Structure 1
Amino acid sequence: MSWLDAVPALVAAVAWLLVPGVLSSYALGLRGLAAWTVAPVFSTAVIAVSAIVFGKLGIAWSASAAGAAALVPAAAFLLVRLAFGRGFSPAVRPDQVKVRLAGWLGLLPALAIGLSIIVQGFRTPANLSQTYDAVFHYNALRWVLESGNASSLALGSFGSSFYPAAWHDITSLAVLSSAAPLPVAANMTTAAIAVFMWPLACLFLSRQIFGPSIPALAITGTASVAFAAFPWGLLHFGVLWPNALSFALVPIGVGAGLSILGMTTQGLLNRTAAWVLFGTTLVATGLAQPNATFSIAALLLLPGCHALVSWMHGQHRAGRTTRGLLGGAAVLALAVASWVFVHSLSRITSVKNYDRWQPFQSITAAVGEVLLNATNGRDALWLLSAAVVAGMFFAFRSRITLWLPFAHVGLAALFVMAAAVQTSTTHIFTGFWYNDSHRLAAMLPITGVLLAVGGVIGTAAKLREWAHTRELPSRMRNTRLISVPALTGALGALLLVVTTTWYQNWAVESLRMTYRAVGSSAETLVESSEQEFYSRVDRVVPDDAVVAGDPWDGSAMLWALTGTHVLFPHLNPSSGNEYLAEHLNEAATDPKVCRLMSKLNVRYAIEGTSQYWLSNPGNDSYPGLTDLSKSAGFELVEQQGPLRLYRITACDPELASHTPEPRSGA
């Protein structure tokens, strides 16, 4: 498939991320930058919530149903505004045209760089992510499309428990809207999140903090794609697609929270709209990947404390000291109660106790990686890091930005805990993110983008001041060439060229390692030759039959790629199917195997030779799927090199008496 053929899927993904949200934004009364930059929050929330409602009502998931659902919150906002008048509408005028234009034009470099990385990294739009988590996500998408149920209450283990399904909901709509193959839709949704959604969210938060500053808005887009840890890090590691979606919403939630706290510069929202947006963001992140909800809380902790102390001080000066103290105590008690409640939840406890990760470097090395924006062994970004450090110093000039350096240091501390310490004590703080250094590193660009923007603008202002102190002709000192906007543009261009030159190759190569069609057996789950064989298997196996296979040799992807049902859609044995994983090749001698096969309609078995991720203990979980050619009751019907498809005749005497000639491929 060519990239031109993938354009409809990309357009569909972008449309689903923006259009439903824009309807709600405009109905709420937002305009200009505000309406478009926060649209992904409303889109994600309405799509994920409607999927749950449809699942409960038994309504099949479809593009038309989701489109109709998008009209509901928009209509509700309009009715509320009509009922309550201007008291509900955001009493904030849209920015001037030149301010909006600076923001939109500033996104063009992000779009160009991001698409370049995507095209070079994916190589082709149909390449698979050859990663552990991708197996679940691909098959979960297939389950959504076949079952017509996209509810987060049903996606876990494909129909039996909770799993945040917002990414799967949006991607399934991209499939349904464009008729693109499942892997293509997954890749294009991923691209839409990284290249469109994330820069928009950063633009909103930048506008909230720096106000209608043309220089700030003009370089925010460039800064948003200058960090390797996010979005590219989560597209490479895991692969963590739902987390990428959720983290891309965090700047919007933080921006809404800052409006509530009164910590913005000529903000785009009044408090009413901010509360609506903030609540919607919590819903959206909770149904995309809940750890982003905790990211929002962590980032708003310091601004919240500042706002609370300021309010208490104001109450004291107004002679209402008792009221201030009681209010502060109430907020503190609520915070402590929330902390205790969250830590008591069994699901949170299981996430916090996730101890798969081990320290892999010293504390000094981890701190150095943060300073150089080189987390998890990435290339150092010297100029970008200098801009971030400069931004930390300039941030102390204003109460609006005062919290940023401390928040950045706090995020850095979480990364250091995960990368270099990993104890039961650090898990109290890092457990919300699975104690995973990659997820925690991906949060650093949220504050890093803002600090880099502030660093560039502050440096430009300092250069302007320096020029005015030199003995230069007045005409030269007053020229626009050394104005703050011009100097900001020049520094932004330098940052763009140098940073992308240094790190873009890493981003491309990291994606190529993940999205590939060929490679060593230990690195590649499904090679192109296996995909060809799976297409032939799909033509042989009846629609109602289930195929058993060791998922670690790639057969788990048979369902996602062709629609042919597999017994093991995960890399780990499914609950209740462990016995077949261990004893399927004993079907001719073990009656229990036949009983389970009949119950699950297992009629075929597939066998390969290559094994993915050989060091993982899960590779040893399927002894019953080995040596099928030497086992009685397995009839070879399709073969391509080392790949074999068997019809299981051991449990059916009529099939056992029939011996067809196997077909052989190249």
Structure 2
Amino acid sequence: MADLVAAWLPALPAALVAVAWCVLPGLLVTLSLGLRGVLAWGVAPATSVATIAVAAVVASVAGVPWSPVVALAPAVALALLLAAARWGLARLRRRHDAPAAPPPAGDGTAVTLAALAGLTVAALVGAFTVVDGMSLPTALSQTYDAVFHYSAVARIVAEGDASSLTLGTLTSPGAGAAFYPAAWHDLVSLVVLSAGASIPVASNAAAGVVAAVVWPLGCTALVRVVAGPSWAAVAAAPVLATGFIAFPWSLLSFGVLWPNLVGMSLVPAVLAVVVAAVGREAVGALTRTRAVVLLPVLLAGLALGHPSTVFSLAVIAAFPVAWSLVRWLGRMLRAGRWVTAVPVGLVAVVLVTVAVDWLLTSPVFDDVRSFDWAAFETPLGAVRETALGATNSKGPARVVSVVVLVGLIAALWRPGYRWLVPAHLASATLYVLAASSESSLTAAVTAFWYNDSYRLAAMIPVTGVPLAVVGLLAVGAVLARVPGLSRIGAGGLTALAAVAVLVGTGGMYARTHAAFVDDAYLAVPAGRSELVDPAERAFYDRVAAIVPPDAVVAQNPWTGSALLWALTGREVLFPHLTGNWTADQDLIGRHLDEVVDDPATCAVVARSDVRYLLVGNADFWPGDARSREYPGLASPDPRSGFELLASDRFGNALYRVPDCGPAATDG
């Protein structure tokens, strides 16, 4: 373990910078809005991501290059606007002799210190999981999706455009615009630009911070809204948040689904704001007005994190919203205000019915409906996995599952908690459908998550964490009735129960979770890589020393060379394994070896600024036929005019593309 700590110390600045970008811009906004205490900090990351992602879109439209200053500007502007609005309202009240608004309510010393203690433990558990799972801060995620994410950050850094409206052109270069949610890539690029970290180190640091800081903070905010200013609840919440394999650890490895990781990590905080917006009373300083003001900003952040997380929020938030509406209608009916209550109830039913029908049948979502992940469990088996916290056939988390079950039962007896029960069951049902059914109904209702059981399983901890807290609170309340324990108090006993869970799970199953994270970062011997092995990585450093920064390197991306851009800053012709490539790219991929003899190929090569050819072994998913779609980028014939500049014994080689003469100026 000491060796791991020593290996990760150089990455500490990148991690701290990632924490700063995730928390501080949003904290400026939440404090200016009037939030204080746990809620100000808990909602800050969702606000940070929103302002950063929106800044990227606005900067791209305005033609302003992406930079840390540009990224920070909207948060500062919004904070100043909110502060000015609050100051103006205060002056208006004084002018009309209206009662002054009460000062923003904090949480008190006990609640604040308890939350800090819980967040510290959660950060330590999360840091251990990340360090043990990734092994090295420079480790690469050896996965298909990671290629796109690494290359996307490389392009943002190189070209200064971080907009979600244009990021998709990385794999559709012929399109003028192509949407891809860029919040994750914006965040990583800021770590690169601010800390001087490499793209792999910045990616790993950001992923670790999202899992160990952003997610626990959001869960703490949600528990603060649901359970009130209970010091035991806010201490337990962040610790329990690290104990679910379904999130964040599955999305830290599977895919790798980094955009979903950052989007889902924000859902608890946004859900907390939704609950406050529809609640009858203010939650600390989070009044209904403040919640309504903040909510559009947070929804923008979710959409630019990953649109599927908006649907995740909608499914879960439907229950507190419906619960609030039903209570309001009940009060109206009891007061005899039928003329108001009945039309409102009917309109709500019609709107929901129309919205659900449109979502399930509209051709707008045909693309996502076309995805299909084969069922891998029986319905009963999927239910069992959900109950045991063992989604996607992972090992059971029995201790945490029991605590959640206790919370489900206890929540039924408290009106403020009841909505958690159907919300939790709804998320679990979606997972069960995706994992065990191939029906048309399953395809329709799970389409917004690509019918992917991993994305759907990630929803379960959003309600699982507060239910686990409710379960511990119930245990504390019961123990407080035992003679001899009542002196400790329900809060103290709840905290002791949380410590027992921490110890009984071996640190919230940290080693089990680390072993799963390790699957995506597995280092293999040189020459047998699934994507990039140590020999290829060393050879790419040699390539960077030879190729000038303004040249483009042609390569078969299935050799792992798509990552040359992210690893060295040298642009490649094919930055991902697949894409809607331009006609010029297709021609070069198929005929670069004919550049000397074919004037058309020569002209295309010249205007593409392709001056080098990088070859290697296409050993990533070796059975995939798509790796053979680049026949012109294999090792060239010695008589073809290509000049060998560097090579190694593992089959990696760099060539200079020959000058094909006057044809280079044609076309």
Q: Same fold (TM over 0.5)?
A: yes
Alpha-carbon RMSD across the aligned residues, in angstroms, is 2.4
Describe the shift of the 1:477–1:136 C-alpha distance in structure 2 as closer, same or farther (beyond 3 A). Answer: closer
Instruction: Report the Cα distance in structure 1 between the residues aligned to 2:535 and 2:574, rounded to whole angstroms.
Output: 21
The reply on whether 1:42 has 2:58 as its aligned counterpart is no
Work out which of the residue numbers 499, 502, 519 in structure 2 matches 1:496: 502
Q: Deviations over 1:382-439 (max 9, x none)?
A: 1111111111100101111112121111111111111111333212211111111111
Which of 423, 447, 461 aligns to 1:407? It is 423
Alignment partner of 1:122 is 2:127: no
Structure 1 segment 114-513 matched on structure 2, within 5 A: 114-158=126-170, 160-262=177-279, 266=283, 268-340=285-357, 342=359, 348-355=365-372, 357-465=373-481, 467-468=482-483, 476=484, 478-480=486-488, 483-500=489-506, 503-513=509-519
- Mapped to 2, the partners of 1:643 and 1:521 lie a distance apart of 10
Structure 1 match to 2:535: 529
Stretches of structure 2 that go unaligned for 5 or more consecutive residues are 1-5, 94-98
Question: Structure 2 CA distance, aligned partners of 1:44 and 1:393?
Answer: 35
Q: d(CA) in 2 for partners of 1:166 and 1:450?
A: 26
1:52 aligns with 2:57: yes
More displaced 10-residue stretch of structure 1: 67-76 or 442-451: 67-76
Among candidates 634, 645, 649, match of residue 637 of structure 1:
645
Q: For 2:314, what is the secondary structure of its paired residue?
A: helix
Q: 2:631 aligns with which of 609, 614, 623?
A: 623
Pairwise CA distance, 1:345: 6.6
Q: Of the candidates 578, 587, 591, which is equivalent to residue 583 of structure 1?
A: 591
Mean Cα deviation higher: 287-296 or 263-272: 263-272
The answer to whether the Cα contact below 8 Å between 1:522 and 1:614 also exists between their aligned partners in 2 is no
For 1:94, the equivalent position in structure 2 comes to 106
CA offsets per residue over residues 69-97 of structure 1, 9 Å max, x none? 32100011012212333799787511121
Are the aligned partners of 2:479 and 2:486 in contact in 1 as well (CA < 8 Å)? no
SS at match of 2:619: coil
- Specify whether residues 89 and 174 from structure 1 end up closer, same or farther in structure 2 by C-alpha distance, changes over 3 A only: farther
Give the match for residue 602 of structure 1.
Answer: 610
Moved more, 521-530 or 17-26: 521-530
Of residues 35, 56, 59 in structure 2, which corresponds to 1:30?
A: 35
Contact 1:29–1:89 at 8 Å: present in 2 too? Answer: no
Distance apart, 1:631 and its partner CA? 7.4
Query: 2:526 and 2:376 mapped to 1: Cα distance?
Result: 25
Does structure 1 retain, via aligned residues, the 8 Å contact 2:141–2:256? yes
Preserved CA contact (<8 Å) 1:636 1:647: yes
CA contact (8 A) 2:132 2:511 kept: no
- Asked if 2 retains the 8 angstrom alpha-carbon contact of 1:202 and 1:220, the reply is yes
CA contact (8 A) 1:263 1:400 kept: no
Is the CA contact 2:240–2:508 (under 8 Å) kept in the aligned structure 1? no
Worse overlay, 644-653 or 539-548 = 644-653
Q: Equivalent residue of 2:245, what SS? A: coil
| Separation in 1, partners of 2:388, 2:282 | 29
Of 546, 554, 568, 2:552 maps to 546
576-585 vs 72-81, which moves further: 576-585
CA distance in 2, matches of 1:23, 1:534: 42
Does the CA contact (< 8 Å) of 1:211 and 1:264 recur in 2? no
CA distance in 2, matches of 1:6, 1:79: 39
8 Å CA contact 2:479, 2:485 repeated in 1? no
Task: Using the TM superposition, give the Cα deviation of residue 502 of structure 1 relative to its aligned residue in structure 2, in angstroms.
Answer: 7.5
Tell me the alpha carbon deviations over residues 258-312 of structure 1, each in whole angstroms, 9 at most, x when there is no partner.
Answer: 1122177955511101112222211110111111111111001122222222222
Aligned mates of 2:382, 2:641 — CA distance in 1: 56
Number of equivalences: 644
Q: How many angstroms does 1:194 deviate by?
A: 0.8
Identical positions, percent: 39
Post-superposition offset of 1:617: 4.2
- Give the Cα–Cα distance (whole angstroms) in 2 for the partners of residues 347 and 614 of structure 1: 35
Q: Secondary structure at the match of 2:412?
A: helix
1:651 to 647, 660, 664: 660
Task: For 1:263 and 1:123, locate their aligned partners in 2 and report how far apart those are by CA, in whole Å.
Answer: 48
State which drifts further: 616-625 or 87-96: 87-96
- In 1, the alpha carbon distance for the partners of 2:644 and 2:269 equals 56
Any stretches of 5+ residues in structure 1 without a counterpart?
469-475, 656-666
What is the TM-score when the length of structure 1 is the normalising length? 0.92
Counterpart AA for 1:544: D
Deviation at 1:256, TM superposition (A): 0.9
1:66 aligns with 2:71: yes
> Which residue matches 2:3?
none
Could you give the per-residue CA deviations for residues 501-559 of structure 1, whole angstroms, max 9, x where no partner exists? 57322221222221244358676311121111111111222333211111111110011
